[in-house]
Structure 1
Amino acid sequence: MMTGTDDGSREQWLARDFEQHRPRLRAVAYRVLGSSADADDAVQEAWLRLSRSDTDEIANLGGWLTTVVGRISLDLLRSRSSRREDGWDDGLAELTGHGGRGAPGVTTQPPPDPASEAELADSIGLALLVVLDTLAPAERLAFVLHDLFGMPFEQVADIVDRSPAATRQLASRARRRVRAADADSVGPARTREREVVTAFLAAARGGDFAGLLELLDPDVVLTADAAAVAMGAPEVLRGPDAVAARFNGGARSARLAAFDGGVGAVWTLRGEPKVAFRFTVEDDRVTGIEMVSDRARLDAMEIWYLTS
């Protein structure tokens, strides 16, 4: 790509070329990962790999960088499950809080601000992000790279380590799931439901009692099945004060998830769901939370873990 330049000139030219590709790379990473912070990390890692590579061997810089960002994003997707699992000692009591209180030549990206996050979300649509979160990592990457960015299946196959035919099937399966998603389930109501549950979990983890109260309906009810009661959960709690006190300072082990036609949270142990929290949201407030620990019910659920 470049020959006959000293190290300083090479770095400057490389940085300039990289910056021309940065917007597209960030868009690819964001659509795959659903997080602007993770997207920035993936793009920065791509720069580090480029700066250490023999650029004379790179015939198509844009294609090479997109492939690298795709591989980095796939690794990040696959690592999320293991990072978010928590041990039994954190357990149900922690989930519900016990009422406790709670590179040279390339500019490093600053922490994402809300406006930037909103702009990226608008560029793909929050509804599609919700659906993409239900896909397996390889499906999601194949769909994004081929259907949204037009990358040939042969190149995508190299990234996901599958044959082109198998990669085509991945994208096709993802496409069917996207198309089959009920319009109501990914429309404004579902998007807002996800926002409310995400805000609730954030307030619980941060010990924000006032924030929890704002998100709870005056008539909110928390219920638990017999298996959850046996693990120490209350059978019934009524009213925002009691429910907020139960979650305040907890939920650090809960993972945002979609199941049973709604958005909620799930606590897992070594990848196996142990407690599902089914949220009912009406008029931007939580009106009900059901704790499900019965093994048969959990096994019957199709759970998709979302990006919180």
Structure 2
Amino acid sequence: MDTATVERFEASRDRLASIAYRLLGSAADAEDTVQDAFLRWQSADRTYVEVPEAWLTKIVTNLALDRLRSAKARHERSVGTWMPEPLLDGDPMLGPADTVEQRESVTLAVLALMERLSPVERAVYVLHEAFAYRHAEIAEILDITVSASQQHLHRARARITVARNTTGIDRVAARRIVAAFVDAASSGRIDDLIALLTDDATGVSDGVGGLATKLIHYLTPQRLARAVQAGLTPTPAKRRLVGGSPSIHAIVVNGCPAMAFTLDDRILGIAIIEIRGDKIAGLRSIAAPTRLARLAEQWQRSEHDAALIESW
């Protein structure tokens, strides 16, 4: 390919990766999908491609749907170990964040809920809500009718609206929320922590070091509070396990406030806080290195605010 053809693809890379990430919930899979699209672009007869952006969007969307429909993906997502891969604020793969719909579509809560949708429902929701594609354009991309696109969106919205959270959190707000959460969790008074939670607050964790064979769910505020309190209580055994005394930072992940546990500038784990109104509706704790690879890389490249706790 000539330089202009490569540059045309590269100009669309971030947008294509953002579409694939929202569809797949995995940065690694999104990158692979975009690379597969590049190979298609490389081998295509581009004299018949009238609108490259539309052509590439169709290719990436359908490649992502093929991944979702694969037997391997269905198995991985059904055995209780899959969760969305988090991304640090500012990562271009997060894509547009100008509207409430765009911000919500990339929260981990919504990415997890999209597992309940069919692949086509998922694609219609992402293209319409996050990228403002019209139903006629979506119908062309997915080879469905306009009426079918409208119906898929209606069903998807009905399932996704229950996950509405406060998004668009900035670093100052994230620091305030995380500080209050850490103070309550370390106070020794379980009621102080429960008071920060909604009546239906839940949590999910992939275990210490991300090694749980299945995700661990905390289905009531009381169970979540006890798990958080135990997890945030430092012990010599925990310090030996991670190799020292980690710091705790407040960060923004997928539009939500989060705690980052770091040691020697390495990310050991994160806990994403989902806000509804002025309370905490959910907590997602992630420690598996494979799930944190891209976030950890972005963290090492970025400037950090001062730690909330220098030595835990």
TM-score (norm 1): 0.49
TM-score normalized by the length of structure 2 = 0.49
